[in-house]
Amino acid sequence: MLPPFFPRLHFWTPLLAEELRGPLAEFSVRASSPSMHFESAAQCRGGQDLRVRGPEGRQCRSAVAVLEG
């Protein structure tokens, strides 16, 4: 779980992708639902996809990370 104050999720997601998978060639992110500073969030991953889920499993952001090479 991420800290309750997470307005920087937009910046943390590519850093998490790089840490988990290595240098990135491309990265794209799409916000699909608002996330409030007082809500808890969890970052999930599967394959090239990363997701940020808010309370009750609501998807807040999705991202795709493409590795170099």
Q: What pLDDT is recorded for position 7?
A: 53
Q: Is the pLDDT reported for residue 4 higher than 80?
A: no
User: Which pLDDT tens digit goes with each residue over 35-52?
Assistant: 777 888 888 877 778 888
Higher pLDDT, 8 or 66: 66
**Tokens for 47?**
């394959």
Average pLDDT, integer, range 1-26: 70
Judged by DSSP in three states, 65 sits in strand
pLDDT value for 51: 84
Tokens coding 51: 């997701």
Q: Taking the C-alpha atoms of 33, 54, 47 and 62 in order, what is their torsion angle to the nearest 10 degrees?
A: 20
Query: Residue 5's pLDDT is what?
Result: 47
Look up the pTM and report it: 0.64
Question: What is the rounded distance in angstroms from the CA atom of residue 39 to the CA atom of residue 19?
Answer: 25
